[in-house]
Amino acid sequence: MTDKPKRVRTAVFPAAGLGTRFLPATKAQPKEMLPIVDKPLIQYAVEECAASGIENIIIVTGRGKNAIEDHFDQAPELERFLRDKGDTARADLVRDIGAKIHFSYTRQRDPLGLGHAVLVARELVGDEPFAVLLGDVICDGPKPATRALCDVYEETGIGAIAVEPVPRELIHLYGIVDARPATERKWGERLRQILDLVEKPDAEKAPSNLSVTGRYVLPPEIFDHLEKTKPGRGGEIQLTDGLRALAREQGLWALITEGKTYDAGDKLGFLKATVEFALKNPEFGDEFRAYLKAMEF
């Protein structure tokens, strides 16, 4: 590649899924708006984008997802109410949500899969590399996972997706990569070259224990691959199938990100994230720790 890769400025948030694993909570409210301590899930990923230098976020929504749009919009009445009461801190908090980023929204009319949701954002993304973040996944680490992936793309011009080792008994729940050590040594053992991806394999047949976590930085060519992708498992257009084609055609990195990933779209993952973020809370973390310690199990 002769030209320097473009800087990654845009992120796509596919948020049109039905959240069936979290029913009944998600019957009338978006999964992405379930709070971990005091922030909706999706806000953690938006803050990750802001910390990663992303300027534009495109949220792919569906029916019943209006609360997401409202959350990142201004709330003048609420802000005025708080200011009139002299509660400047909370008024500023309300004002600052989403203030650093430009948001656009588009709709996926039918939930035809994650790959289809990404494809729906094609016109808004244009001919640029972009990040994809699953809004129900929280990545908590020393460096924002999206920034780490942008660094790999901006240096190499090849897309990169975040992976993490998972215990053998959980392999069948995730997309798993078949990868070999990268010839590019800057990231050491953490960077792998993807040979293939497999959706939810049996542990015995899995090519590795590295699961795809829900953070991606992709070149615009992924859209051509998704256009050609036929519906797979469950009649859905799988992002994994587009990624496999991309990996074959122009390569794709897997980056083992530092820190911890919570799949908070799953009840147990949600509870783990809640407890860990509550323990870290400066206001009541110590009290919460003492409460947990005093509990009899």
**CA 64/CA 57 separation, integer angstroms:** 19
Query: Toward ligand UTP, which CB reaches closer, 86 or 235?
Result: 235
Using the rule CB under 6 A, give the single segment among 49-57, 111-119, 182-190, 220-228 that binds ligand UTP. 111-119
Among 53, 111, 207, 232, binds ligand UTP (CB under 6 A): 111
Residues 4-23 that bind ligand UTP (CB under 6 A): 14-22
Using the rule CB under 6 A, give the single segment among 89-97, 132-140, 196-204, 218-226 that binds ligand UTP. 132-140
Question: Are the C-beta atoms of 216 and 199 separated by less than 8 Å?
Answer: no
Question: Are the C-beta atoms of 42 and 13 separated by less than 8 Å?
Answer: yes
Using the rule CB under 6 A, give the single segment among 113-121, 149-157, 165-173, 203-211 that binds ligand UTP. 113-121
Instruction: Report if residue 242 touches ligand UTP, rule: CB under 6 A.
Output: no
Q: Return the residue matching tokens 């680490």.
A: 141
126-152 in b/e form (b: 16+ CB < 10 A) is eeebbbbbbbbbbbbeeebbbbbbbbb
Site string for ligand UTP, 141-180 (x = CB under 6 A): ----------------------------------------
Query: Of 239, 36, 252, 262, nearest to 145 (Cα)?
Result: 262
Say how many C-beta atoms besides its own lie within 10 A of residue 84's C-beta.
9
Among 33, 34, 68, 117, binds ligand UTP (CB under 6 A): 117
Query: Toward ligand UTP, which CB reaches closer, 178 or 263?
Result: 263
Residue 213's contacts (CB-CB under 8 Å, 6 or more residues apart) are 137, 139, 145, 162, 163, 164, 257, 261, 263
In the chain, what is the straight-line distance between the N-terminal and C-terminal CA atoms, in Å? Answer: 58
Residues 34-93 that bind ligand UTP (CB under 6 A): 60
Q: Which residues bind ligand UTP (CB under 6 A)?
A: 14-22, 31, 60, 108, 111-114, 116-117, 134-136, 265
